[in-house]
Structure 1
Amino acid sequence: MSKDKSLENLAQKGAWISILAYLLMSTIKLSIGFFGHSEGLWADGLNNSTDIIASIAVLIGLKISVKPPDEDHLYGHTRAETVASLVAAFIMMTVGISVIAQAFQSLVDKGTEEPSLMTAIAAAFSALFMFGIYKYNKQLSIKTNNASLFAVAKDNLSDALVSIGALVGIIGTWIGINWLDTVAAIIVGFIICKTAWSIFFDASHSLTDGFDQELLVSIKGTIASTPGVLYTCDLKGRMHGNEVLIEATIQVNKSLNVIDSHNISDHVEHQLLEKHGIQHALIHVEPYL
């Protein structure tokens, strides 16, 4: 299975941008959070440190996915992207649970030092910066139809929300609402966990050969409307990374010869490519009785 190298390069570019962004943000937030006495910003910096690991996992998945088919992987390696999404989901879930646990721990052992102004500026800048990275990677994931990069984009959005939560907590401390820091952290933690669950569900659904039923109905309609196809049966679809694999049995006029029947199957494959972008379809022809 060959993939558009330019699209794969774009996807890898998005992963690299996330890694560099996380390196920058984690350095800023860990240092300012420590010296500025903000536990929320410090935790946010630790969050970005774990995101570096998730982004590296996605990048490795992208690198593996472009490898050509070999004797052990006759369908290619594109599912490495989906496995990378699973890794990112597990890391995000761990971070989300950690954020929630730290928030509850703060109810028992709350710091007394007031965060400095610089911590609020750092949190606000981080939220805006990561939201920009999220928008960029989301557009790239749509353009490249890349699931693992979309998972990275969702993680970028979660990080922006974490920084907003840290900012709210800092401001709450300034105005005397100390418990606001804890509430914000808990909410953000649940948002991260929800995002991780969404990524995990999509990736596991794909890996277990789950398929969009609405898309399958649309594909069946395309096949059935192809001239020469009298009946469509035994239609199956699966995802292989970001590629769609289709298997279908069509019935044609039993009086047609092999060449004419084959031409109809070729026409079906052309229609699937033109209308749905499906490059890999296995069409079996049977006589209509």
Structure 2
Amino acid sequence: MKLNQYDEIKQGEKGAWVSIGAYLALSALKLGAGYWFLSGALVADGFNNLTDIVASVAVLVGLRISQKPPDKDHPYGHFRAETIAALVASFIMATVGVQVLISAVRSLFASEYHVPNLMSAWVALFSAVCMAGVYIYNRRLATRINNQALLAASKDNLSDALVSTGAAIGIIGAQFGLPWLDPVAALVVGAIICKTAWEIFYSSTHALTDGFDENELTTLRSTIEKTKGVKSIKDIKARVHGNLVLVDVIVQVDPGLTLIESHRISDEIEHRMGRKHNIMSVHVHVEPHDNTENAVSNALE
């Protein structure tokens, strides 16, 4: 049985809780091991995970708000709260990425280097594997329920796996007399985090400002044009509303059709959009097809 949008958002909460649980456990492990084994990279990674808890809580709050039913002030529901949560997550990721870059540059030009215990590298690698597992779980869940906030959280999980991997590389490099390897790896990881944060920020702001992919809109137009009874499409618009796509379309049909026949065409459009594109929110406005108007339009073109 297919879940409705509210059930899908409820499913998304599982991913947010998995992230929060993983960050709580791993931040405690990294901070404890980092101080015990004198690993500055591991301590920094532990504090990074503490900030990630805030991002995961923001995603969880956004998902909770999204489940509120429509009301007088929000007739379309509260689904955009999850997009706002993704936007907040991008800000936190960007902050962490910049901090990693600044720390890496300072370490690169430091006059003294400390060689941490090799055990701290194993802790970092264990953390990287754990976060990679959380990333795979959250990405699959986000793809299945089409949830942008959880998808942003999964990208944050991947960034954290990369940070831990970079910390492990630096610690191992220090054992072989290559202390500069740690800050170089941190620079690469910091750049990846900032790039991911920008992608999430762009996607979220594009959706919040009612932006919509032109290629996808062309695909939707093609599906509607192929619907039996549709003579032409006068106008079509679409926007993203949380995990939903809302479509408004004006179609032109034979002016000799009855109201019931025109209504059947509208129903068929809604059915095809749901079946082919999983779009359940389609507003169809039907107008009579004017052959004279279209002939003039074609002649001008």
Q: Same fold (TM over 0.5)?
A: yes
* Partner secondary structure for residue 230 of structure 1: strand
Deviations 1:229-276 (A, max 9, x none): 101121000000110000000001111122211111111111111111
Deviations 1:79-117 (A, max 9, x none): 001000000000000000000111112234465432112
Matches for 1:147-162 after TM superposition, within 5 Å = 147-162=148-163
- Separation in 2, partners of 1:19, 1:141: 16
- Separation in 1, partners of 2:13, 2:216: 28
Conserved in 2, the CA contact under 8 Å of 1:58 and 1:88? yes
How big is the shift at 1:8? 2.0
Does residue 136 of structure 1 match 2:148?
Answer: no
Task: Provide the TM-score with structure 2 as the length reference.
Answer: 0.93
What amino acid maps onto 1:68 in structure 2?
P
Instruction: Determine what percentage of the aligned residue pairs are the same residue.
Output: 52
2:264 alignment partner in structure 1: 263
1:48 alignment partner in structure 2: 49
* Partner secondary structure for residue 230 of structure 2: coil
Over the aligned positions, Cα root-mean-square deviation in angstroms equals 1.3
- Separation in 1, partners of 2:235, 2:86: 30
* Partner secondary structure for residue 245 of structure 1: strand
What amino acid maps onto 2:240 in structure 1?
M
Conserved in 1, the CA contact under 8 Å of 2:10 and 2:67? no
2:181 alignment partner in structure 1: 180
Does residue 171 of structure 1 match 2:172?
Answer: yes
Conserved in 1, the CA contact under 8 Å of 2:118 and 2:175? no
- Separation in 1, partners of 2:52, 2:31: 14
- Separation in 2, partners of 1:281, 1:9: 24
1:224 alignment partner in structure 2: 225
2:108 alignment partner in structure 1: 107
How many residue pairs match? The answer is: 288
1:95 alignment partner in structure 2: 96
1:245 alignment partner in structure 2: 246
* Partner secondary structure for residue 245 of structure 2: strand
1:33 alignment partner in structure 2: 34
1:78 alignment partner in structure 2: 79
**Structure 1 residue runs without a partner (length 5+):** none
* 112-121 or 172-181: bigger deviation: 112-121
Matches for 1:182-201 after TM superposition, within 5 Å = 182-201=183-202
- Separation in 2, partners of 1:23, 1:83: 24
What amino acid maps onto 2:217 in structure 1?
L
* Partner secondary structure for residue 249 of structure 1: strand
- Separation in 1, partners of 2:101, 2:155: 19
* Partner secondary structure for residue 284 of structure 1: strand
* Partner secondary structure for residue 61 of structure 1: helix
- Separation in 1, partners of 2:99, 2:4: 38
**Structure 2 residue runs without a partner (length 5+):** 291-301
- Separation in 2, partners of 1:98, 1:224: 51
Deviations 1:173-196 (A, max 9, x none): 111111111101111111110111
Structure 1 residues 111, 72: CA separation in 2 closer, same or farther (over 3 Å shift)? farther
